[in-house]
Homo-oligomer: A and B are copies of this chain.
Amino acid sequence: MKKNAIYAQSGGVTAVINASAAGVINACRDYQNQIGTLYAGENGILGVLTEDLIDTSFEPQELIEGLRYTPSGAFGSCRYKLKSLEVNRREYERLIEVFSAYDIGYFFYNGGNDSADTCLKVAQIAKELGYPIKAIHIPKTIDNDLVVTDNCPGFGSVAKYVATSIREAGYDLESMYKSSTKVFILEVMGRNAGWIAAACGLASEEAGQPPHIILFPEVEFDQEKFLAKVKESVETYGYCVIAASEGIKDKYGKELSASEHTIDDFGHHQLGGVAPVLAGIVKKYLGYKYHWAVADYLQRSARHIAAKVDVEQAYVAGYRGVELALQGRNAIMPYIKRVSQDPYLWEIDAIDLEHVANKEKFMPREFISPDGFHITQQCRDYIQPLINGEDYPPFINGLPAYVRLNKQKVAKKLAEFTIK
């Protein structure tokens, strides 16, 4: 008796999470003699809870191929973390109720830390209730902060985007600093881990090339040292390009961007962004002409400049996830193992979720230069292969021709469930 499957996307989307979806869908289609219908939760786990399910059988193969080059979460994602089993057992039991109603034997959950935890709990309660399921966590996060795996699908593409962007902005500054802007700040994502900021460092291949300063959340922000470094850069190279993690904190552990409660001339709250705060500091103490950019969602959805290796890893992680489930594996995460550095080679292995859930991987100290303002060669060696290769989407009328799925909904058969 073939069991059906459910796939759901979770958390902040990436340029390649849909490539993982394509991998899961194609694997289910390739193994259709062993696996039944593949459903997808609309808007992630929320759709599974509320029985808002999409029957992926209605998506033609060309749209699935389109997922490989379409950013964001095609089935909808959500920021919703299931609480602990003790606090919210009701939700886990509901998941099992839905699984049971649709004869689900496989649960593929595509997300970051929180999702690994949820996936593990689903496996645990299913076991407790005697419901047979293979729960597989497909890794995804631009933050690159999952443990065990060498890197996370989604990171390579954002890394390529930010390194390209800061290189381009660096050329801009270099050509104009004599009479114009001397300090440029690019704010990138990374609340706790500085991997994305670190990736900006790849743009600097020789001494003096931008970025000149990288600010990591792992390194306490010291205003004096920062200003001295900016001054030194301007005096040495004529200008200073800075990559700043959104999550940089002062010595009290307070985020610099927490000055988001300023009131502007209109009486409105001026909101967020560490880049304008840093610009303010530079302006006040050094007086240099500055510019700043905040990439925000642009960086995690920039499929037009995704890394080919990232697209492939995302796809294969999804595809292998299905194969591992069919081999009887449960409560695991397929992860990326670096087999060789030069040439860069990787393969997929599997790890039990208990080794992954609720853990976070930060930048190791040896990846950060002694002064705390740049990356080391060791860090370059780690990140560089992850941005390799281009994998451009097709363009129509000058714009990337991303796809939208049909999202054929399944008729509900259970009692309504309210998210509390």
Q: What's the minimum C-beta distance from A176 to chain B, rounded to whole angstroms?
A: 5
Q: Give chain B residues whose Cβ lies under 8 Å from the Cβ of A291.
A: 296-297
Is A307 an interface residue, CB under 8 A from the partner?
yes
Q: What's the minimum C-beta distance from A124 to chain B, rounded to whole angstroms?
A: 24
Q: Which of B72, B164, B265, B303 interacts with A399 by CB under 8 Å?
A: B164
**Which B residue sits closest to A268, measured CB to CB?**
B280
Q: Give chain B residues whose Cβ lies under 8 Å from the Cβ of A272.
A: 276, 279, 292
Q: Give chain B residues whose Cβ lies under 8 Å from the Cβ of A9.
A: 175
Q: Which of B172, B184, B263, B398 interacts with A389 by CB under 8 Å?
A: B398
Q: Give chain B residues whose Cβ lies under 8 Å from the Cβ of A175.
A: 9, 13, 72-77
- Return 10 A-B CB contacts under 8 Å, by A number: A9-B175, A72-B175, A78-B180, A168-B301, A262-B270, A268-B284, A272-B279, A275-B294, A276-B276, A384-B398
**Docked-complex contact A76 and B176, CB < 8 angstroms:** yes
Question: Given known contacts A169-B296, A270-B276, what 13 new A-B pairs fall within 8 Å (CB)?
Answer: A43-B178, A76-B178, A168-B297, A171-B402, A172-B297, A184-B296, A202-B399, A262-B262, A262-B264, A268-B280, A272-B276, A293-B296, A390-B395
**Docked-complex contact B264 and A280, CB < 8 angstroms:** yes
**Docked-complex contact B265 and A270, CB < 8 angstroms:** no
Q: Which of B71, B75, B184 interacts with A172 by CB under 8 Å?
A: B71
A168-B304 contact given A266-B277, A395-B390, A399-B203, CB 8 Å threshold? yes
Is A261 an interface residue, CB under 8 A from the partner?
yes
Q: What's the minimum C-beta distance from A288 to chain B, rounded to whole angstroms?
A: 12
Is A341 an interface residue, CB under 8 A from the partner?
no
**Docked-complex contact A301 and B171, CB < 8 angstroms:** yes
Contact with B along A364-398 (1 / 0, CB 8 A): 00000000000000000000110111101001011
A83 to B102 alpha-carbon distance, docked (Å)? 77
A71-B171 contact given A178-B43, A277-B270, CB 8 Å threshold? yes
Q: Total interface residues on A, using CB and 8 Å?
A: 90
**Docked-complex contact A398 and B392, CB < 8 angstroms:** no
Q: What's the minimum C-beta distance from A144 to chain B, rounded to whole angstroms?
A: 15
Is A295 an interface residue, CB under 8 A from the partner?
yes
Q: Which of B203, B283, B292 interacts with A294 by CB under 8 Å?
A: B292
Is A290 an interface residue, CB under 8 A from the partner?
yes
Q: What's the minimum C-beta distance from A75 to chain B, rounded to whole angstroms?
A: 8
**Docked-complex contact B392 and A397, CB < 8 angstroms:** no
Is A137 an interface residue, CB under 8 A from the partner?
no
Q: Give chain B residues whose Cβ lies under 8 Å from the Cβ of A79.
A: 176, 179-180
A256 to B268 alpha-carbon distance, docked (Å)? 11
Q: Give chain B residues whose Cβ lies under 8 Å from the Cβ of A298.
A: 165, 168-169, 186, 293, 295
Contact with B along A185-226 (1 / 0, CB 8 A): 010000000000000001100000000000000000000000
Is A119 an interface residue, CB under 8 A from the partner?
no
Is A160 an interface residue, CB under 8 A from the partner?
yes
Which A residues, 144 to 172, have Cβ-Cβ distances below 8 Å to chain B? Answer: 160, 163-165, 167-169, 171-172
Is A182 an interface residue, CB under 8 A from the partner?
no
A258-B262 contact given A164-B399, A279-B272, A392-B392, CB 8 Å threshold? no
Is A302 an interface residue, CB under 8 A from the partner?
yes
A305 to B305 alpha-carbon distance, docked (Å)? 8
Is A281 an interface residue, CB under 8 A from the partner?
yes
**Docked-complex contact B276 and A280, CB < 8 angstroms:** no
